[in-house]
Amino acid sequence: MPFLTAGFGMYLAYGLVLMTVGFLLQDRLGLTARQTAAWQRASSFWPVPGVHAGASRRRATP
């Protein structure tokens, strides 16, 4: 039982570290939620509905 408890604790700690690093990177790079989702889609197999991989590279029309 102690191994299960320790493993579960490490799993939760790892998730917390990943979320914290993700939030810090998004904040430091100045990314919007849409830009972050577009980057996530380009770097994984999980689709994000309504967000295209090149959304952050589009030029704004004057």
Q: Can you give the pLDDT at residue 38?
A: 76
Q: Can you give the pLDDT at residue 31?
A: 87
Residues 32-61 have pLDDT tens digits of 888 887 766 555 555 555 555 555 555 555
Q: Can you give the pLDDT at residue 9?
A: 94
**What average pLDDT does the chain have?**
77
Distance of alpha carbon 62 from alpha carbon 60, whole angstroms: 6
Alpha helices in 30-62 (DSSP H): 33-42
pTM: 0.52
Residue type, 38: A
Confidence of residue 11 (pLDDT cuts 50, 70, 90): very high
